[in-house]
Each structure stands twice: as structure tokens, then as C-alpha cells.
């Protein structure tokens, strides 16, 4: 028995892991390093026309007229299309939650009569190049009838507020209420209570590659071929077909190399529908590459949450009851395929976090405003929920006079309580909540840090220490999405494993890698499962013609679900190879071992055949197959990680910041994280995800916000205004791992891709508050922590 | 974001550039120096010159020299040349030290002294430096040459006294005598970003006494401001006399709180005023500690 | 709009293109020369994805017009590996240290860091961080890129 654990589930044949768990450098890297990757703008085809969109510069208005005559006359312009003209060619994007009381929006690919956010597309120009297309777009005159803008949730929910969507009763997509029995009694009996208001700003993933698509009409196959920088190519195919009202087999979607997604490229957007329609009508390829300004205006924003919380606790700091009002600013439209209810609903479910809170009452509102639609960004509402519950825990600690680490110890779900069903019905399958906390305090030398802090204060420097913990639901499928009320329950992923006649392996997966390294990690799983060399495995994804269906990459699910489906399909193929080998070697299938590309008889290593020989037999000399065995070495399987409630990763973090109390500037000096994501396929990739997530989290904590003015104009439209952390802003991050496998998933893998981004807001807020505590009793309950806010908190505390 | 169309000229002599400039319709022609400020605005279609006159092939506009105590820096001298110059590092270390704050190296490889001065961004380092070292700014046109003092050159946000047919050719300055000290402090939201507030201090020192002070701030939202009151408070004071610290600090605080500033995304008004004062304080502290011979550390 | 002929050397190869004056260098490289390794991330000079070398200096190709580089020598990411496909020291180090994830910022990072190592063969970790400030990466958190540059500096001169 090797010293690495056997990876198997009950009933499976144990497989010695040669690759899973190893820090293997990524197979896909050469093309990216050589400049040979193919992102959508690198996909070139003859005769391509280029699109530029005319976008609303009003937040809320009726469109009275659109004058395209000057644009159409410009040399190099091939076509111009307005929303009014296109109305009969498509349906609006309409995507409704299954919850009662839901009010749905209609999002036309080009607005025919009303615009509801600045940047909404009204018309499109198609020309010989983007320069000319922009020249023409400028010549299009739009006449508006201004309507009163509704730029905030307060404005949207005020009595008598202007209605953003026709036929609605008010501006609320959805209200939800959940309450445990006897809540009010429990809350009123709590020895102590505190109320808090937490706010997280509107910000977003900001991938380095903006959105884009190239739509072509394929004459031979009579279908639209849509190359698109997307995370969910199958769902996109379904959506485009539905909106264009064509059979789905008349649409093919290809996601090429994608330069970052973070959830922003999960939704279906109007532009890809417009380009698809134009390509079909013009019978010419139509390409649209989003520029950064468009991206800031129109690619989904995220995370704009307002939480009002009341926490009831006893004198030992044990939380007994939690009341919350969660309000999310969802912007103008409900996006496909998650709906506008996603953020508020998820926050409702995960707000109690990794803590043992049994009495819970929550109202969650998804509100529409005249702003860019909201989508899911890495963690979705978990960063806001984590911010709230962690700051709440710190408030409890302060109230009873104990340390932040101690209050967590007293409230975290304990090892012997797993699987733990939370008060909202989430099943925390396994975890190391307290163990990871203890370990991070030890690794960070928490006591030593406190001494350093004291020494620094004596020198007039303000260091602060923050602690945070979280649990991350990952790889959740049908059970969870049913509860969330999404019309599509993202119930499975799919893998096709095929050994070809040359004995080489192709794995096709329904997820898509836009940085996660799936070409390597999935190959590791497949190579181990089949007993072949890693070099003989190639992983493919992104083309909807290669597999029947899948959901794509989001919600930290690909490693678990595609890892699982790959394992299942590989097991099928391995089984057939064993039977064929057994037949060729005149042995019993259960005595066949396949490793390093050869099948041999256990105990008789000289009796062997190569995987290539087996494949040759299967495809090219099938007369040699065992009776009844079919002549293909291929299997396509799905996996849903039953029971579908997901598998929960967890982490605990310590951060040290230094606050310049004169300028309000915050420097993150140190971050230590203990992460538990079960069985790790590739530690390099996992650690990379953690570092990248934390870097984005630093952006959430200190820098990033979309700012709208009082008439709904977006003020932050360039990187001068929207600040993204650079290398000097992100410290080296110390990472440690615990391994608590999932009892539910194949190989015990848990997802973790979003995790790094979840806690930095809470973590850094706690650290900043700790740093300035000698100067002020102020609490850090709003993000981002801008320097002027820090100064304001300090001034609050100054003697009058 | 693609720029609107324009006619392009790449003169190779100054005379050619000047006559192109004069011949063009005033508002429609722009000089292209480094392009690091102009081209982004053109890509955004916020600037749409009909004519672009590229100065990058004009001979004789670049260079750093010192003749008889007068330093002269040509307008097309790249920020990177300033940053890398051994002469400046030795004799005028404030320049390479401050210029290193301008964006990132690729920006500094193309951005120029003249371009930065004429663009007159309220947060930019070069307008501050020009006032700080009391530079003379040479401009020329087909009508002849003239020199403007830095104190008269900047008129407001993105506005200078340069005429539409004029081209900035060089800046000249002398260092304070007999010795001098400098300090600079800048606060930006993140490394390489535009300054929210910045302050430069140059002290002319004779023995242990400050004979003259130059105190200039940037980032108020307007042109770089000379803080006369702070300068007056410093003149004649002993360099090392800590008794005057509180008095000086008081003048700084009062001056800062009276500044006319513009609020923006990164700083509301009151915060910005106070921040300017903090930068002055820090720049002054650095100036008092530094020595003219101090090597720029890299 | 009168097009102009621009003659330039790109990765050691002489090229001639016909472009409008307003055509950005990044678009000329990508569309007129088919060198799609240089990426466009913002078109206002902040993100660094478009960084190339012009006459030996790192520059933003989104802020330079193609007509301006007539007669210049350009190096792009496609020119970093040897003619036989051997990765440069820095490229190999980026691979070894997991210095890329989605890869979109990577060409710009490679060019900026190649430029750094050519000017400063032994940078400190802080020097690297400061130089890297001009490239935005949303995936890696930068640390592994810094590790890679440090390793490449230790290995020997960048190609």
C-alpha cells in the first residue's frame, strides 16, 4: 500500500494514485506562453464583419426615435439594425424564478422602446472593421423621453416609486421570508442583543479579457456557429436557440480559450444573440469584441448588498438567534441562467455560515433599479454573507469581552457534528471548521502577532490583526438549485472518455477551463483511472457538438463533477479494457492490472499487452474481442454528486494590516490561510486559485466599486476610476492544507475555486478595525475600506 | 474604443512642426509627444483632433545638460531618461526620484517632460516639479520664442498659458545655493496610480539656516499650488530647530484647510485638504533629513 | 482616409503594412500581421496586456499608432522563444511556477518582465513587484509571477 491514500468508493476497484494529488505543472501552459492561445478575438475567418453597439446614455427613458440614415450611408457599413426593427426576429430574454411572487423582466437583445440602464443596447452597426463601425455608431441619433431614474434600492422601494418594469406592482423581483419556529421568543429571551448594518459595494470580476463573440453561418451544417467567450456553452446554446426561436440543433456554441470569467461570463448576454441573428441574416461572420468601457457599463455587476442584522447571544458569546434583512440591488434585468433572485437567495441560505445558529429569521429582497444587471461573481453572495456573519461574530466578541478567535471557537460547528444540516437545510457534509481555525492561529503565531502589534503601537504604528472563517458550498446540483428556484437546475456534468485506435486517450468534459487548469487536473484523474501515462491523455472542452450536454464552469463544481464523471466514464472504459486484455491473455478480468499503459496478469508480469494493442483489437480486429463485447473503447457518463446538496470546503484565515492613520491608507502585510477542500487533485492549481481569489478579495475589501450618480450615470468607466489591485497591493500568502474528504463525492474531492474570494472583505475589515481601535470605537461595516472612510472613523473617535 | 480619424504629419525639424502647427485650425490640431495621456483620450473619443503632429521624429528636442549651473531638459526627453540619468541622480536627485512615481515603466518609456507639462493634469508630477524648482519654460512658434516662469505657466485644470500655435521646447532651472535639500511625498490609491495628493519641498540652506523654501502641492484638482504661507514660515528658520516644528505644522494645517480643492471619487473635499497637509508635512520632514549629496537608492 | 505604408521589423522579420494613421499598433500587430499573442485589455494604458518592445523599450501598443513605428524593431511575445521553439528562461520559469492561469495577461507580463530583466538582471523581490505593478492580473494574485521572475533572474540572462 503506498503512503498516499487509496482513492476509491465502496465497490470500486482500488486505484493507486500516480497523478492525483501531485503538483504537476500545467499541460496547457505552452500555448499561452508562446502567444498561441486562441481567445475569441484570435479566431479569424474570412469576410468577417465587425459590430459596434449604440448604447443608451440614459438610465431610464422611452425611445422615441432612432435615426440610422447617416450611419447606413457611411462607407464600409454593411448593416444597421435597431431594436424596433428586430422585434419580430426574436423573443426577449425572460428568465423567471419558480418562487411565488416573482415578477419577471423582459430583456430585449436590442431595446425596442424603453431603456432601463445606461449602456443598454439600442442598435447595432456592422461594418468592415471596428473603427468604421464606431464611426457609424456615433452617427446614429437617438431621441429619448426621459423617465425619472431609479438609481438605488431606496429609490426603488420608496412608496410611489416610478415602475421600472411594465405591469409590476413595485420594483421588487422577489421577496422571500424564512423563519424558524418560535424565533421571536428565542430572540427576546437572549441575554444580549446587537444590531448591525453591513454594506458591500457594487463591484465585479473584471476579467482581463472582455466579453466577445464571433457568430458565423455554417452553410454545410445549416446552423449558427457561435464562438463566444463564455463559461457555459451548452446553456448558452439553449438560450440562444430559445430567444431566436430555432431548434437547438441549429446552433453550435464554441467557447475557445477564455481569458478569465469569474462568473461574469456565465450569463447569456444580448450581444451574442444579436451577432447570431446578424450572421444568419447576412450569411457572413459577425464579430463583436467588447471594449473595457462597455465592459464596465454592461457586463454584469455583482455583490451590491445591504444587510440589517440583529444577533441574540448569551453572556458567553454563544449566538442563539439571528435576524436578517437582506436587500440586493439587482439592476435592471433578471439574467439568464441564474435569475435576479440568486444573490439574495444564496445569502439567505448561507448567512449563518460555519456556525451553529439554530434560530433564524430572514427577509431577502431582490430589488430592480436602473443600473447594470447583477450577476454572480466568484462566491456570488458568499462574500457579502461572510462579511456580515464574521463582523457579527466580532461584534459579539466585543460585547462579551472575548477575542475574535475565541468567539468563533464557541460557535463553530464541531467535527463530531458532521454531516451537519444547517438551519436553512444545507448539509455541511464534512469539514474542519475548528481545526482549521486552531491551525491558522498556530501557523500565523497569533500570540506573536499580538506582541508585534503592541511593539508597533509603542512606535506609533498601527498594525491590525483579523481572523475569519467560512464554509463554501461547492458542486451543488439539483437539490440546491431546486431550493433556489432556478428554472434550470444545474444538475450534472458530463464526460466522454475515449481510447482511440492508437491507444491514446481523449477526455471531453462539459465544463470549461478559463484559468482553472482543467486540461491538467482532469487528465490526472483520467490517467489514474485508466492506468495510462499522463502524456497520453488529452482533455477537450468548449464545443457543444462534442458532448450531449452539461452546465459549464461556475459554482466551484468542475473538479468534483467533471472529475467524477470522468472517473465514471474512465471506469467503464477500463472495465472493457480489462475484459479484452483478459481475453487476449487468457486470464480472468479481475486478475488484470493496468498501469503505465500496459495490462498484465497479476503475479505474471511477463504476460502483458499494451493499451495500444487492446485498442487495436477493439477497433480494427474486433473478431478477437470476447464474445458479446462491443467494439468501442468509449463511454459518456454524467455525475451529480448525489445527494446534490453540494460538498462544503472550509478555510480559516489570519491577516495583518498596517493602517497609515494620517492618510487612511491600508497595507495588507500578511495573509495566512488554512484551507480544507478535501482530496486535492493538483496542489499547484488549488494554491493558485486561493491566491487569485484572495487578491480579488483584497480588491473587494479596499479598492473596487462601481459608482453611479444620482441620475443613474456610471461614473467609474475606466481603470483610472475602478481600481484593481496590482502586485504591490497583494502580499505573499502563506497557505496550509487540511484534508477532510467529502463522504459524498467520487475521490472525496471538494470544490474550492471561489473560496479565496469569500473572506478577505471580512478579514481585512476586522484587521483594520483592530488597527485603529486605540483611536476610535468605530466599526468597519462597509466596503470598500476607502482611505477617506478610515479617516472618518478615526475622526469619529477623536476627542472633541 | 477606437479613435476617430485624423490627418497625420511626422515632421523631422522644429521649423516644419511649427509651420504645421500654425497652418492648422487651432482647436483641431494636437501635438503628439509621448501619447500616454493623449492617445487614451483619443481612444475614448473624448479628444478628436483632426490633425495630429507627431513630434517624435523632430531632431534636437531631447536631452539633459548642465551649462554653467543652468540645467536644461529638452521637451521630448522621456521620463525613463530622467529616471535613468546618472547626472540627475547625482546632482538633482529629486527629479529621478519623483519621476519614478509616474505610472509604470512602459508609460515612462514614451511619456515626455513637455507632453506632461502641456497636458497639465492636476495630479501629475511634472507640473509640480516645474513649480517646485521654479523652472523657466521655453516655448516657440513661427512668431518667435518666449519664456514663461512655471508660476505663470499653469492656469487651471488641463489649462496652460501656451498659445495654440506654440510648442514647448525645453525647461531650464538652477539649483538653490549654496546647498539644498528636497522632500517629496505622494499618496495614491495604489502603486503607479494618479496622486490623490502630492507635495514637494525644496529648501535652500546656508549653514544651518533655511534661506528659501519652495513648497508646491498637486492633486487639489486644480493646477499645482505654491503654498506661500508655508514658504514664508520656513524662510529664515533654523533647519534643525524643533521648537519651530509645531508652529510650522500649524501653518501647514491652516493653509491646507483653506485650500480650494475639488472633490472626486477618491477623495471628498475635507479629506483631500487634510491629506494635502499630511503630504506637505511628510515632504518637509524628508527635506530636513536629506542632504544634497544623498544618492538615490535603487 | 489616406493609408500609409509602414515598414517595420517584427521579431526579426521585415514586414510591410498599409494602415490608416489612426490604426493602433496593437491592432496592426494582431490584424494586419496576424500576431494575436499581444492582447488588448483596456485601450487606455493601465492594464499592460498590450505591452510589446519597440526599439528595445517596453511600451503599450494600445497607445501607439502603427504609423509611428515605421522603421522600428518590434518584439512581441511570439519572439521570445527561440526559432526552434525553446522557451525563454522566463517563459520556462512562468511554466514551472504556475505564473499563469487564464493566460490573457501573460504576454504583456512576459514582455514587461523580459524588459525588467534586461535592464536589471538581479532585481529584488520588491523591484519585481514594483515593475509588475504595470500589469493587471485577475487570476494569479501575482505571487507566482514574482516567484517566476525571481527564478528566471537566478537562472541566468533572459533571452
DSSP A687-749: HHHHHHHHHHHHIIIII----B-TTS-B---STTTS----GGGS--EEEEEE----SSSGGGB
Computed on alpha carbons and rounded to an integer, the radius of gyration of chain C in Å comes to 15
Residue A782, Cα to own-chain centre: how many angstroms? 23
Does residue A407 carry a pLDDT above 90? yes
Residues 84-143 of A with CB under 8 A from C: 129, 131
- pLDDT at residue number A642: 82
DSSP-assigned states of every residue in A244-268 = HT--GGGEEEE--B-S--TTTTSS-
Tell whether B274 is within 8 A of chain A (Cβ). Answer: yes
Nearest CA in chain B to A665: B189
Distance (Å) from the alpha carbon of A205 to chain C's nearest alpha carbon: 8
- Say what the pLDDT of residue A800 is: 65
pLDDT in tens, A531-580: 999 999 999 999 999 999 999 999 899 999 999 999 999 999 999 999 99
**Full-model pTM:** 0.97
> Is B43 within 8 Å of C43 (Cβ atoms)?
yes
Tens digits of residue pLDDT in B43-70 = 999 999 999 999 999 999 999 999 999 9
Residues of chain B with Cβ-Cβ distance to C64 below 8 Å are: 35, 39, 110
Cross-chain residue pair C134–B103, CB shorter than 8 Å: yes
Instruction: Please answer whether residues B289 and B182 qualify as being in contact, where contact means their C-beta atoms are separated by less than 8 angstroms.
Output: no
Question: ω before A532 within 30° of 0 (cis)?
Answer: no
Nearest to C133 among A209, A696, A727 (CB): A727
Structural domains of chain C ordered from first start: 4-79 (3.10.20.30), 89-155 (1.10.150.120)
pLDDT at A87: 97
Closest among B74, B77, B94 to B175, alpha carbons compared: B94
Q: What would the mean pLDDT of A86-108 be, rounded to a whole number?
A: 95
Task: Count Cβ atoms within 10 A of the Cβ of residue A733 and give its class: 0-12 exposed, 13-18 middle, 19 or more buried.
Answer: buried
> Could you tell me which residues are beta bridge partners of residue B163?
none
Residue C132 pLDDT exceeds 60: yes
CATH of B64-174, one of 1.10.3720.10, 3.30.465.10, 3.30.70.20, 3.30.460.10: 3.30.465.10
Mean pLDDT, residues A368-374: 98
Task: Indicate the pLDDT class of residue A483, thresholds 50, 70 and 90.
Answer: confident
Is the pLDDT reported for residue A606 higher than 90? Answer: no
Are C133 and C149 spatial neighbours (Cβ–Cβ below 8 Å)? no
- The predicted structure's pLDDT at residue C1: 63
Which residue segments constitute the domains of chain A, with CATH numbers given? 41-147+210-258+265-298 (3.90.1170.50), 380-476+644-790 (3.30.365.10), 492-526+550-639 (3.30.365.10)
Q: Is the pLDDT of residue A1 over 50?
A: no
**Helix/strand number for chain A, H first, E second:** 21, 29
Q: What is the pLDDT of residues B217-250, one digit of tens each?
A: 999 988 999 999 999 999 999 888 766 688 899 9
List the single residue in A35, A515, A756 with the smallest CB-CB distance to C107: A35
Contact of B7 with chain C, judged by CB distance below 8 Å, is answered with yes
The DSSP annotation for A572-583 comes to HHHHHHHHHHHH
pLDDT tens per residue across span A189-241:
999 999 999 999 999 999 999 999 999 999 999 999 999 999 999 999 999 99
Chain C residue nearest residue B191, CA to CA: C133
The residue among A206, A727, A729, A756 with the most chain C CBs within 10 A of its CB, best to mutate, is A727
Domains of chain B, by residue range, sit at 7-54, 64-174, 179-289
Mean of the pLDDT values across residues A27-52? 97
Work out the pLDDT band at A644, boundaries 50, 70, 90. Answer: confident
- What is the CB-side half-sphere exposure of residue A756 using CA atoms within 13 A? 27
Superfamily of the domain at B179-289: CO dehydrogenase flavoprotein, C-terminal domain (3.30.390.50)
Instruction: Tell me: pLDDT of B298 over 70.
Output: no
CB contact under 8 A, A787 and B271: yes
Q: Any CB–CB contact under 8 A between A75 and chain C?
A: no
Query: Contact B106/C51, CB-based, under 8 Å?
Result: yes
Across all residues in chain A, what is the average pLDDT? 95
Give residue A706's pLDDT: 98
The answer on pLDDT for A4 being more than 60 is no
Name the phi and psi angles at A359, rounded to 5.
-120, 120
Give which of B106, B112, B193 to mutate to test C binding, by max C Cβ within 10 Å: B106
Nearest CA in chain C to B4: C22
What pLDDT digit, counting tens, does each position of A710-720 carry?
999 999 999 99
**Contact (CB<8Å) B192/C44:** no
Query: What is the pLDDT of chain C when averaged over all its residues?
Result: 96
Question: What is the C-alpha separation between A555 and A552, in angstroms, rounded?
Answer: 10
- The pLDDT assigned to A470 comes to 96
Contacts of B48 in chain C (CB under 8 A): none
- Contact call for A208 and C129, based on CB within 8 A: no
pLDDT bucket at C157, cuts 50 / 70 / 90:
low
- pLDDT higher than threshold 50 for residue C98: yes
pLDDT at res. B289: 83
The per-residue pLDDT for A6 is: 40
- pLDDT reported for residue B221: 85
Residue A459 Cα distances to A452, A455, B108, C124, angstroms: 11, 7, 37, 27
Write the pLDDT tens digit of every residue in B92-128.
999 999 999 999 999 999 999 999 999 999 999 999 9
Q: What is the pLDDT of residue C131?
A: 97
Residues of chain A above pLDDT 70, percent: 98
pLDDT of residue B243: 64
Look at the alpha carbons of A698, A702, A703, A705 in this order and tell me if their dihedral is positive or negative: positive
Which residues in chain B (102-131) have CB-CB distances under 8 A to chain C?
Answer: 103-107, 109-110
Res. B25: pLDDT tops 90: no
Q: What is the pLDDT of residue B240?
A: 80
Bridge partner residues of A507 (DSSP): A497, A539
Cell 439568464 maps to which residue? A336
What cell numbers appear for B273 in the block? 485638504
Q: Which fold has domain B7-54?
A: 3.30.43
pLDDT at residue A13 in the model:
45
Rounded mean pLDDT, A242-257 = 98
Q: Answer yes or no: is pLDDT of C107 > 90.
A: yes
Kindly report, residue by residue over A288-301, the tens digit of the pLDDT.
Answer: 999 999 999 999 99
**Rounded Cα–Cα distance for residues C49 and A172 (Å):** 40
CA distances from A761 to A383, A431, A693 (A): 7, 22, 11
Amino acid at each position: 500500500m503506498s503512503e498516499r491514500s487509496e482513492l476509491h468508493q465502496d465497490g470500486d476497484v482500488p486505484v493507486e494514485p500516480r497523478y492525483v494529488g501531485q503538483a504537476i505543472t500545467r499541460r496547457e501552459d505552452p500555448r499561452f506562453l508562446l502567444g498561441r492561445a486562441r481567445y475569441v478575438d484570435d479566431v479569424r475567418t474570412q469576410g468577417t464583419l465587425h459590430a459596434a453597439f449604440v448604447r443608451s446614455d440614459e438610465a431610464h427613458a422611452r425611445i422615441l426615435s432612432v435615426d440610422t440614415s447617416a450611419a447606413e450611408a457611411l462607407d464600409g457599413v454593411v448593416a444597421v439594425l435597431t431594436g424596433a426593427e428586430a422585434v419580430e426576429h426574436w423573443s426577449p430574454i425572460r428568465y423567471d424564478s419558480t418562487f411565488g411572487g416573482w415578477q419577471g423582466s423582459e430583456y430585449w437583445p436590442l431595446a425596442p422602446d424603453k431603456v432601463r440602464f445606461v449602456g443598454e443596447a439600442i442598435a447595432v452597426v456592422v461594418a468592415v472593421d471596428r473603427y468604421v463601425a464606431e464611426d457609424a455608431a456615433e452617427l446614429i441619433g437617438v431621441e429619448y423621453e426621459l423617465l425619472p431614474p431609479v438609481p438605488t434600492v431606496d429609490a426603488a422601494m420608496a412608496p410611489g416609486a416610478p415602475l421600472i418594469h411594465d405591469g409590476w406592482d413595485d420594483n421588487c423581483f422577489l421577496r422571500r421570508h424564512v423563519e424558524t419556529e418560535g424565533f421571536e421568543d428565542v430572540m427576546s429571551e437572549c441575554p444580549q442583543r446587537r444590531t448591525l448594518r453591513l454594506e458591500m459595494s457594487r463591484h465585479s470580476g473584471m476579467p482581463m479579457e472582455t466579453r466577445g463573440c464571433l457568430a458565423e453561418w455554417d452553410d454545410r451544417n445549416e446552423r449558427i456557429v457561435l464562438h463566444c467567450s463564455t463559461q457555459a456553452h451548452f446553456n448558452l446554446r439553449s438560450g440562444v436557440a430559445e430567444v431566436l426561436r430555432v431548434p437547438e440543433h441549429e446552433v453550435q456554441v464554441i467557447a475557445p480559450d477564455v481569458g478569465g470569467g469569474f462568473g461574469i461570463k456565465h450569463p447569456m448576454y444580448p450581444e451574442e444573440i444579436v451577432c447570431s441573428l446578424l450572421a444568419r441574416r447576412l450569411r457572413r461572420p459577425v464579430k463583436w469584441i467588447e471594449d473595457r468601457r462597455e465592459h464596465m457599463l454592461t457586463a454584469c455587476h455583482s455583490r451590491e448588498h445591504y444587510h440589517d442584522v440583529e444577533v441574540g447571544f448569551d453572556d458567553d458569546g454563544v449566538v442563539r438567534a439571528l435576524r436578517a434583512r437582506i436587500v440586493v440591488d439587482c439592476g435592471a434585468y433578471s439574467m439568464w441562467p441564474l435569475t435576479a433572485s440568486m444573490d439574495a437567495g444564496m445569502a439567505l441560505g448561507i448567512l449563518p455560515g460555519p456556525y451553529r445558529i439554530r434560530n433564524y429569521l430572514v427577509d431577502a429582497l431582490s430589488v430592480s433599479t436602473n443600473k447594470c444587471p447583477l450577476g454572480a461573481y466568484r462566491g456570488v453572495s458568499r462574500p457579502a454573507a461572510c462579511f456580515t456573519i464574521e463582523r457579527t461574530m466580532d461584534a459579539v466578541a466585543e460585547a462579551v469581552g472575548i477575542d475574535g478567535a475565541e468567539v468563533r471557537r464557541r460557535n463553530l460547528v464541531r467535527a463530531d457534528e458532521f454531516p451537519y444540516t444547517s438551519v436553512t437545510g444545507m448539509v455541511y457534509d464534512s469539514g474542519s471548521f475548528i481545526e482549521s481555525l486552531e491551525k491558522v492561529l498556530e501557523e500565523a503565531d497569533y500570540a506573536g502577532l499580538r506582541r508585534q502589534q503592541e511593539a508597533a503601537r509603542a512606535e506609533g504604528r498601527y498594525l491590525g490583526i483579523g481572523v475569519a472563517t467560512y464554509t463554501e458550498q461547492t458542486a451543488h446540483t439539483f437539490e440546491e438549485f431546486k431550493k433556489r428556484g432556478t428554472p434550470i437546475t444545474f444538475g450534472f456534468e458530463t464526460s466522454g472518455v475515449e481510447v482511440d485506435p492508437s491507444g491514446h486517450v481523449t477526455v471531453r468534459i462539459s465544463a470549461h477551463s478559463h484559468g482553472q487548469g482543467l486540461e491538467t487536473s482532469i487528465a490526472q484523474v483520467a490517467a489514474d483511472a485508466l492506468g495510462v501515462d499522463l502524456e497520453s491523455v488529452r482533455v477537450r472542452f468548449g464545443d457543444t457538438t462534442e458532448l450531449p450536454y452539461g452546465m459549464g464552469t461556475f459554482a466551484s463544481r468542475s473538479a468534483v463533477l467533471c472529475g467524477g464523471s470522468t472517473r465514471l466514464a474512465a471506469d467503464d472504459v477500463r472495465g472493457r479494457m480489462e475484459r479484452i486484455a483478459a481475453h487476449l491473455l487468457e486470464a480472468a478480468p479481475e486478475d488484470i492490472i493496468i498501469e503505465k499503459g500496459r495490462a498484465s496478469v497479476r503475479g505474471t508480469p511477463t504476460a502483458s499487452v499494451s493499451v495500444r494493442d487492446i485498442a487495436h483489437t477493439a477497433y480494427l480486429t474486433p473478431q478477437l474481442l470476447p464474445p458479446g463485447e462491443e467494439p468501442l473503447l468509449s463511454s459518456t457518463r454524467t455525475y451529480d454528486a448525489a445527494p446534490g446538496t453540494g460538498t462544503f470546503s472550509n478555510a480559516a484565515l489570519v491577516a495583518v494590516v498596517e493602517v497609515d492613520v494620517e492618510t487612511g491608507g491600508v497595507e495588507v502585510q500578511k495573509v495566512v490561510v488554512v484551507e480544507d477542500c478535501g482530496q486535492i487533485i493538483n496542489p499547484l492549481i488549488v494554491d493558485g486559485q486561493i491566491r487569485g481569489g484572495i487578491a480579488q478579495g483584497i480588491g473587494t475589501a479596499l479598492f473596487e466599486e462601481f459608482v453611479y450618480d444620482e441620475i443613474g450615470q456610471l461614473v467609474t468607466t475606466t481603470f483610472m476610476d475602478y481600481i484593481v489591485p496590482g502586485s504591490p497591493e497583494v502580499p505573499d500568502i502563506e497557505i496550509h492544507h487540511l484534508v477532510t474528504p467529502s463522504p459524498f463525492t467520487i475521490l472525496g474531492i471538494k470544490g474550492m475555486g471561489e473560496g479565496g474570494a469569500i473572506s478577505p472583505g471580512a478579514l481585512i475589515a476586522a484587521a483594520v478595525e483592530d488597527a485603529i481601535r486605540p483611536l476610535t470605537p468605530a466599526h468597519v461595516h462597509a466596503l470598500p475600506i476607502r482611505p477617506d472612510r478610515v479617516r472618518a472613523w478615526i475622526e469619529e473617535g477623536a476627542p472633541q | 474604443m477606437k479613435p476617430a480619424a485624423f490627418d497625420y504629419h511626422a515632421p523631422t525639424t522644429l521649423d516644419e512642426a511649427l509651420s504645421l502647427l500654425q497652418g492648422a485650425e487651432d482647436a483641431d490640431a494636437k501635438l503628439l509627444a509621448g501619447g500616454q495621456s493623449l492617445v487614451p483620450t483619443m481612444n475614448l473619443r473624448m479628444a478628436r483632433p483632426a490633425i495630429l503632429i507627431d513630434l517624435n521624429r523632430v531632431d534636437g528636442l531631447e536631452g539633459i545638460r548642465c551649462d554653467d549651473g543652468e540645467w536644461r531638459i529638452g521637451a521630448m526627453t522621456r521620463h525613463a531618461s530622467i529616471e535613468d540619468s546618472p547626472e540627475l541622480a547625482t546632482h538633482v536627485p529629486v527629479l529621478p526620484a519623483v519621476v519614478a512615481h509616474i505610472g509604470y515603466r512602459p508609460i515612462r518609456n514614451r511619456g515626455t517632460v513637455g507632453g506632461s507639462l502641456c497636458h497639465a493634469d492636476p495630479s501629475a508630477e511634472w507640473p509640480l516639479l516645474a513649480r517646485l524648482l521654479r523652472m523657466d519654460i521655453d516655448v516657440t512658434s513661427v512668431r518667435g520664442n518666449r519664456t514663461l516662469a512655471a508660476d505663470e505657466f499653469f492656469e487651471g485644470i488641463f489649462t496652460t498659458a501656451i498659445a495654440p500655435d506654440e510648442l514647448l521646447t525645453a525647461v531650464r532651472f538652477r539649483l538653490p545655493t549654496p546647498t539644498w535639500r528636497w522632500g517629496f511625498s505622494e499618496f495614491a490609491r495604489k502603486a503607479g496610480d494618479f496622486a490623490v495628493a502630492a507635495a514637494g519641498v525644496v529648501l535652500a540652506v546656508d549653514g544651518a539656516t533655511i534661506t528659501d523654501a519652495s513648497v508646491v502641492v498637486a492633486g487639489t484638482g486644480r493646477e499645482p499650488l505654491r503654498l506661500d504661507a508655508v514658504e514664508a514660515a520656513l524662510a529664515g528658520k533654523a533647519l534643525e530647530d524643533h521648537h519651530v516644528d509645531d508652529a510650522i505644522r500649524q501653518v501647514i494645517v491652516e493653509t491646507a484647510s483653506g485650500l480650494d480643492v475639488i472633490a472626486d471619487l477618491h477623495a471628498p473635499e475635507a479629506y483631500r485638504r487634510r491629506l494635502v497637509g499630511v503630504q506637505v508635512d511628510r515632504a518637509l520632514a524628508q527635506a530636513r533629513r536629506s542632504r544634497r549629496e544623498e544618492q538615490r537608492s535603487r | 482616409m489616406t493609408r500609409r505604408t509602414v515598414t517595420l521589423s517584427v521579431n526579426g522579420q521585415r514586414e510591410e503594412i498599409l494602415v490608416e494613421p489612426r490604426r493602433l499598433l496593437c491592432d496592426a500587430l494582431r490584424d494586419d500581421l496576424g500576431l494575436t499573442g499581444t492582447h488588448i485589455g483596456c485601450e487606455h494604458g493601465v492594464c499592460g496586456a498590450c505591452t510589446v518592445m519597440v526599439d528595445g523599450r517596453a511600451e503599450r501598443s494600445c497607445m501607439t499608432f502603427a504609423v509611428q513605428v515605421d522603421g522600428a524593431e518590434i518584439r512581441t511575445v511570439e519572439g521570445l522563444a527561440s526559432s526552434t521553439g525553446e522557451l525563454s528562461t522566463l517563459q520556462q520559469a512562468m511554466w514551472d511556477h504556475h505564473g499563469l492561469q487564464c493566460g490573457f495577461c501573460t504576454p504583456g507580463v512576459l514582455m514587461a518582465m523580459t524588459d525588467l530583466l534586461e535592464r536589471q538582471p538581479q532585481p529584488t523581490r520588491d523591484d519585481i513587484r514594483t515593475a509588475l505593478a504595470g500589469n493587471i492580473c485577475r487570476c494569479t494574485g501575482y505571487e507566482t509571477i514574482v516567484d517566476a521572475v525571481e527564478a528566471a533572474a537566478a537562472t541566468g540572462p533572459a533571452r
